[in-house]
Chain A
Amino acid sequence: MNSNVPNSKKISPFLVFFLIHTMQSGVGILGFQRIIAKTAGYDAWMSIILTGLVVHILLWMMFKMLKIADGDITSIHTFVLGKKIGKIFSSFFILYFCLFTITVLRSYIEVVQVWMFPELRTFWFTLALLILAIYIVFGGFRTVAGIAFFSIILPFYIDVLFVVIIPYSDFTNLLPIFDHSVKELLLASRDMSFTLLGFETLLFFYPFIQNPERSKKWAHFGALFSTMLCIYLAILAFGFFPEAQLQKNTWPTLAMWKIIKLPFVERFEYIGVSNWGLVILPNICICLWCASRLAKQLFSIRQKTSVTAIAILCLIATSLISTRGQIDLLTTYTGKVGFYFNFIYVPLLFAGTLIAKKVRNREKHT
């Protein structure tokens, strides 16, 4: 249905790894340890595995749906709900991605303001980042995928540098295991979901993958890599901080950087926070791209116009949010919306697709 994407604009299947992983590793990864440890304590690493498993199942469902509908989420909606209602449902996702962009932008800027520049003007810095994002989106999906690729490759050294903190950690903190109830573990899994969100963008860029069948394994690898990274960072944080101290750190990952020391660099978190700009950049770009592409498909607005319009909207919204409380509220809401979309709506849609397929097959026979 939407297979009118020219071949030269498509990306090779193996880049899906980077697209999925980059969406999952945004600002959330800087501070998820505290949130999951709140309910499940130091057993929370099991919750990460659980959430990771669910992500794999959801990815499998998405690929199945996309294959049946042969297109992106708009074609799934049309397939299941019909043209008109499908359009209404799809248009909600423009808002969803705007919300996602604003959350990512605002929480990153908060990190910068707390750790590096207390007097950084939210407006001007957002403006710079959004101009950059527009420039990237104007380059097409290949450029977006390119930024995703480099945002994993270039800051990768940071992930490795965490090894330095192992001598300062005490991994007996993790013991005893299984001292939390299943309910607590499940609740922690739900809290974990915000960090691992973002893989749903697959539903939008699927038509841009060359040979989508072969991208399946890369998408799963991407999700697996994110889960592994989260477990790695969680276990390091659990070993590094005693449980009570962890609760006092909003961004435990950042706090761990402080210990890294090189002959010419102290206070490594300055480099880390700056570098994280590159990590969150593709999140903004992919969200902007998805939102503007949806606008193009649903309302046939030129994508160049819609990107700019959405970016301006995000700019205004981001600069209006200023206090810690507001940011917290925003993050919580985005987390909730994302949770309901991914973990409830997607399975429902999956069931709907299967039913619709059966009904159509039967119609064909009769």
Chain B
Amino acid sequence: MFNLFKNKNAEKESLDKILAKSDDYKCIDYFNQKTNVSFTLKFLTTLIDEKTVQESILPYLLEENFKEIDDAKEIIPLADIQISEDISQIEDKLFTGSVLLTVNGKENKFCFLGARKEIGRNVSLPEVEFSVIGPKESFVESLDQNLNLIRKRIPVKELIMEKLTVGTLSKTKVAILYIDGITNPENVDTVRQRIEDIEFDEITDSSYIVQIISDNQNSPFPQLLDTERPDRISAILAEGKVAIFVDGSPHALIGPTTLVEFFSSFEDYYLNWILSSFFRLIRLFAVVFSILVTPVYVATLSYHYELIPQDLMNTLVASRRAIPFPPILEALFLELTIELLREAGARLPTKVGQTIGIVGGIVIGTASVQAGLTSNILLIFIALAALASFTTPVYRIGNTIRLMRFPFLLFAELWGLLGIVVCFSFLLTHLIRLTSLGRPYLEPLYPPRMQDLKDAFIRLSFDKQRKRPFLLNTNQPNRFHKKAAKDKKDIEDE
């Protein structure tokens, strides 16, 4: 017993020693004016709010009737006060913004006073997932602020929030959110288990978590949806999915998810269902177009020019007559140019980036056609494909689509249309095999589930959205009760 006590003291001393090396560590002795008790405050100036110390802690400790440590709770007007004898807590508390109070001579009992300094930005407009209609708030880096945004939208006791800590160095706080009674506990268990199993030192963003807990880490496809929109999170929680928040990241994660979900913008739910279905179809068409147009161009011009009707062929031949390269080099040249422009645009400040985009796009494009390096028809295709790839509402999947084009190009060069089919089959197989938190990624296409098609390629009206997604196997499959069957009205009935 004595030994243990001594060890603990040694631990505290070594902590003091290490802390003393940091200049922001303060350890100050004071005397109470009434009782003459001497006490010490220890804190890290960078983490605590000095105003709280000066206004809500020190005056009371110095002037009130402070005899022993237990009095602190009565005399200090703070909500977050904790009295403890557990030395192992000290490091943790000091580094999350608490002031350590000890009465000199009675060091085995101490008090933590919460005086955390909050530095963070305010809630701002969503930048990645901007929408014209709908709420204009987006998450920020502070976990508490983000959770506040969600709690405000779902003010029910069933909204459960579990906190975990991951990362040996970063000690990042991760919150798992779900609605008890709706979400399938299996999904929550999977998420919790995978987050608990994370072995990494520094988790700086939710993107780390996505990559670490994905079912297949060797896939270019994102297997958890990330969003910066609180409205999207509250909607998917109501569907029965699980949300993951990471402290320090303005992007929350959603799982399990499907491929189609990456092509649905949240604005789809703010528009009338006919319009939003149309836009969704356009977006899906854009994706297919963006991936396939250059490979098909290369395949047809390298191998199957018989495919093209004669009139169209004349135009194509005229535009390619002066070009010294085979179609594949021509296409690769332009694709790489576009990729370069995009990378340059992404790395530069917004205003310069725009200029680079315009200058690069117009000048390089026109110049390369005039110089006879590429045909203007291909230039049109490539520009359209690039434009189409920007229609993806989720940034992550847009990157995947950017990459997808290149294997298709290579296969097209190898075996023409046949190569495209082979490459497509590889992609299809990969997608069939992929899962998100153990649920099929290609659902509702495969396994085919008619019920979930109501909100996939098209979005049906809200009265048709009575069932929660079958994919999630929720505890409560109905979103609302069907009203008693309405009589079908005839013309001019009241």
A265 → chain B closest CB, angstroms = 6
A2 sits at the interface (CB 8 A): no
Nearest opposing residue in chain A for B442, CB measure: A146
Q: How far is the CA of A142 from the CA of B415 in the complex (A)?
A: 29
| In the bound complex, CA of A272 to CA of B424 (Å) | 15
Q: Per-residue CB proximity of A145-181 to B under 8 Å, as 1/0? A: 0110110000000000000000000000000000000
Q: Considering only CB atoms, which chain B residue lies closest to A266 in the complex?
A: B309
Contact A265 B307, beta carbon cutoff 8 Å: yes
Question: Which A250-297 residues have C-beta < 8 A from chain B?
Answer: 261, 263-267, 270-271, 273-275, 277-278, 281
CA distance A143 to B416 in the complex (A): 26
> Across the interface, do A270 and B429 meet the contact criterion of CB distance under 8 Å?
no
B177 CB-CB contact with A under 8 Å: no
In the docked arrangement, what's the CA distance between A11 and B422, Å?
A: 25
**Cα–Cα distance between A116 and B304 once the two chains are bound (Å):** 8
Q: Is the Cβ of B447 less than 8 Å from the Cβ of A12?
A: yes
Q: Are B425 and A147 in contact (CB under 8 A)?
A: yes
**Is B349 positioned at the interface, with any CB of A under 8 Å from its CB?**
no
Contact in complex: B306, A270 (CB < 8 Å): yes
Interface: B428 (CB within 8 A): yes
Whether A263 lies near B429 (C-beta < 8 A) is no
**A117: interface (CB < 8 Å):** yes
B445-463 vs A, CB cutoff 8 Å, 1 = contact: the mask equals 0111000000000000000
- B309 and chain A: residue at smallest CB distance: A266
On chain A, the residues within 8 Å of B420 by CB distance are 274
Docked-complex contact B432 and A274, CB < 8 angstroms: no
| Stretch of A71-79, A125-133, A317-325, A342-350 on the interface side | A125-133
In Å, the complex CA distance between A327 and B310 comes to 36
Give min CB distance, A229 to chain B, whole Å: 20
Partner of B312, one of A14, A125, A264: A264
Q: Does B426 sit within 8 A of A, measured CB to CB?
A: yes
Task: Tell me whether A277 and B425 are in contact (CB under 8 A).
Answer: yes
B10 is an interface residue with CB less than 8 A from chain A:
no
Measured CB to CB, the closest approach of chain A to B362, in angstroms, equals: 28
Q: Does any Cβ of A come within 8 Å of B27's Cβ? A: no
B271 CB-CB contact with A under 8 Å: no
In contact, A120 and B307 (Cβ under 8 angstroms): no
* Bound CA–CA A14/B449 (angstroms): 11
Pair B418/A267 contact, Cβ less than 8 Å? no
B424 cross-chain contacts in A, Cβ below 8 A:
278
Q: Give B219 Cβ to nearest chain A Cβ, in Å.
A: 13
Chain B residues in 8 Å Cβ range of A104: none
Q: Is A139 an interface residue (CB 8 A)?
A: yes
Residues of chain B with a CB closer than 8 A to A225's CB: none
CA distance A15 to B425 in the complex (A): 19
For the complex, give the distance between the alpha carbons of A152 and B302 in Å.
Answer: 29
Our pick among A15, A147, A264, A281 for the contact of B308 (Cβ within 8 Å) is A264
Cβ of A218 under 8 Å from chain B: no
Interface assignment of B417: CB less than 8 Å from any CB of chain A:
yes
Q: How far is the CB of B450 from chain A (nearest CB, A)?
A: 10
Structural contact, A150 and B308, CB atoms closer than 8 A: no
The reply to whether A264 and B309 contact each other, CB–CB distance below 8 Å, is yes
Chain A residues whose CB sits within 8 angstroms of the CB of B432 once the complex forms = 139, 142-143, 146-147, 150
A149 touches B308 (CB 8 A): no
Partner of B417, one of A129, A135, A274: A274
Query: Whose C-beta in chain A lies nearest to the C-beta of B431?
Result: A146
Task: Report yes or no: A150 in contact with B428, Cβ–Cβ below 8 A.
Answer: yes
Give every chain A residue within 8 A of B304 (Cβ-Cβ). Answer: 116, 267, 270
Q: A164 to chain B: closest CB distance in Å?
A: 15
Q: Is A135 a contact partner of B418 (Cβ separation < 8 A)?
A: no
Selected from B310, B418, B442, B447, the residue in CB contact (under 8 A) with A116 is: B418
Is there contact, CB below 8 Å, between B307 and A266? yes
Closest residue of A by beta carbon distance from B448: A149
Q: Is the CB of B307 within 8 A of A267?
A: yes
A185 within 8 A of B: no
Residues B418 and A117 in contact, CB atoms below 8 Å apart: yes
* Residue B433 interfacial (CB < 8 Å): yes
For the complex, what is the distance from the CA of A125 to the CA of B419, rounded to whole Å? 9
- Which residue on chain A has the smallest CB distance to residue B304? A270
A62 on the interface (CB 8 Å rule)? no
The 6 A-B pairs with the shortest beta carbon distances in the complex, nearest first, are A274-B417, A146-B432, A139-B433, A277-B421, A267-B306, A146-B446
- Extra contacts, 8 of them, besides A116-B304, A132-B425 (Cβ < 8 A), are A112-B418, A116-B416, A117-B303, A117-B415, A117-B416, A139-B433, A274-B421, A275-B421
Q: Which residues of B contact A (CB under 8 A)?
A: 303-304, 306-310, 312, 415-418, 420-422, 424-426, 428-429, 432-433, 442, 446-448
Residues on A lying within 8 angstroms of B by beta carbon are 11-12, 14-15, 112, 116-117, 120, 125, 128-129, 132, 135-136, 139, 142-143, 146-147, 149-150, 261, 263-267, 270-271, 273-275, 277-278, 281
24 contacts between A and B (CB under 8 A): A11-B447, A116-B417, A117-B303, A120-B415, A125-B418, A128-B415, A129-B422, A132-B425, A139-B432, A143-B433, A147-B429, A149-B448, A150-B428, A264-B308, A264-B309, A265-B309, A266-B308, A266-B309, A270-B306, A270-B307, A270-B417, A275-B421, A277-B425, A278-B421
